[in-house]
Structure 1
């Protein structure tokens, strides 16, 4: 579990606020904690202007001093009362002139700094006494004592204002987060129920705040009390609220401070719309699947049936023809076998056999897959270059399934090379390392064919997606499913020089490495 600090300033704009709220939501959903810091600069950086006065000069309200102003810096450094009658005691002529000018601007005889813990809050300026007498030492001492009380009162007022602003910003933040937040104290009494939670549960804050957690509902109260007892799993739990008919995801956390339970919080997300969209998308995908299946089946089945029907129609007329009967028998058997093959292919795709995972040498699977591909059709004139590294580690896999993957990839490459000059396939396997998979094997099949059309590149792993005259388009979907079942990934790169399909499989570094029987860089031409 990590703690992420997110800082907010009182003047934060709406876009930055929305971005930081999304960050908080994502971090909380990942099971971490968030420390929110509300930054309020107060008035110390806003400058010094007239706050209140009585019988002041007209231009006094226009005066403004920044922290960098020499007067402010002098008062901060010295912090004592400035009296016009005693300016002669200030030895620095620059400072004496500065203070005299400040008194003249305000029409004052005395300037009293207001300081708290070496921080200048402001100052009081006082004009001539109504008696006309000058300020004496007793009056100046009384003014200094008064300044201490005024400074303390002013500091408390500023602190109260800062706390009030922080409280308002915190409440606004919690109400703005697009997640329902319910917080209870250590006794299970609801202390926070934000506006999103009110909408989700269709309850007002007044009916919940200050009441036991059961006021929200038995399910959510059970989770909160489980968190208080330190029995919460910390993982989101999805459930359907029978009262509101909403699909909700609830994640609870126990709140602690140095091991002492302070309460618990529940983060509630309304997944109703999301689940409805997923169901609709699933329905659309299912409809598209059956539509594509029907189209593929009608295309593949029609050709064998046409051939069988043609021979069946000619059979009564040419039954006595021995050659015809022989051809009829061979053709019908071949087309029936083709239909059975189509049915078997769909059945294997719909009901794949369970994988038998065990340490497997990838070189064996490659050689076996190459043999299967070459036996399935005639690919005369295609060069097959192999570049398989020696001493590759084994993978935890099913050799038969991996061989079938290799066979599909080679078959697709060979079919893409039909009619091309100097057709060539490069079959390579090597060890790789990256951040996601510390150690694994990269298996690639590259051809110099025309590549995959841009309009179908995003669909090549979808069932029944094919540009060939024959075939159901199940090869790459089967490959991807097998690779994912082995904990791997598959990537396709296309260009004007051909297509490269790369399969990344995690290896088993604990097993002994294996000397492949395939020479590295061997080149062979298959007739």
Structure 2
């Protein structure tokens, strides 16, 4: 039976596809984020993909699959034969199937893909390539090192050219079937270059700290010969490289730089003691050269980098001394302000303009730095993006660094961009809505098509009843929530102690922890208690899904001016979100459709009470939600 990899996120769709394929194929559902790893572990015969994912862009997924297994047919389930479908065809997708599909037509597409796979397998015949300029089997060290010296003279400053040239030299000089080089980066070895090797396969290989090859190279730090190894795990990893010899390279400090993987000798000869010694000499010599080459390239890069920054930095830079006199005034600063450096150097900050000088002196006086603040300077009729920071010496400001940029163009374009983004947003909502609705229809239509034929099968009726019933229920919830977002809801407002509402809501979520008491904080607000409880339930439900059963959702309250503040914090990372992402809009990226709609309804309810809710998403996965309600006087 052919192995069919099903890459979909919707459980109902995955169950439907698995049921359809299980009699004639071996279907396996794979999470989109694990596709690469799954393909490397076992190559599929056919791959089925959806047209939209929460965790990964569709194009990135298809390109990843095509790189790993370019000969495997991909069947894509699409909402329509529109731009997305055309883009998929351009990326090399084998077949497009529009949802909801007819099961018979779908199986026909699967069978065609199966025949294509068989035809491709027949075409594959082993081919052995021999180098035309293969040297004799006798090793001539003088010739080798003479040629190596020539390569160094030509490529020393560029390791990206030096390494491939040396790999080819070793391969040809020793008459090897293949040779490759792996570079050590961040506690793992990755493929760098090779000759007569499967680059696509090797590029996806990573020998990490847990691999046997990594551990042996780091610990032994000597040449490994396949015929002298009895560790089965190590042997299997070396065989992945089709290598007979592993030749490590060591830095002057004893750190491993990388290794050569050398294949069989085309002459049929073995690696004698003389050849192994010769390889050891190559390793010692080339290790030093490679380390120096990388250091040389890094120095060149740093010099070029600094030069480019000084000549082309797109921001104005002004540096003041402790007396607020200008000591550095770069070209871009002069261009933005319309000033010549000769007119302002060694003069006070006021020489560039009173408004800007006043802003800087205010920051110096309060010792409060300015970070990326947008200010409008009337003198220049321009918007500036401005930062101002200090260098201290013995507790006093010794230098003031001002960095600014003319952002007038961007501010003027902001309004226009908002209109464009609004149109794009509604296109996105329409696409996600179509996706959310069509997925349940796949199960419903499949059930309807197969019902006459399989009605007598109790297994079919039982399994599909559960699938179809769940999909219908999901569709109903989806429609109900969209209707709530579009309709104006009536509120029954009363003066209510919001702390009581918090306590009542938290009882439904065991991992939500709220303060034991109010500690004198005013929590009386004018709300519809039932609606606010519903909004809090939606928010707590999201937090619990994100953090899992073992975490804790912490809730705190505070009184700020005339507002009651509720802060909800959790450190979950089950739901991958972008920093700065607005998760309170319908069908926000990476979120399940119903969860996203719940959060949108949550914000609508709070804003209907003249309140606000905001979210902060931190790099490590922590999330903080802040709710503000206007207080009623006691």
TM class, shorter-length: 0.3 to 0.5
Query: Could you state the TM-score of these two structures normalised by the residue count of structure 2?
Result: 0.33
User: By percentage of residues, which structure has more helix?
Assistant: 2
Query: Could you state the TM-score of these two structures normalised by the residue count of structure 1?
Result: 0.39
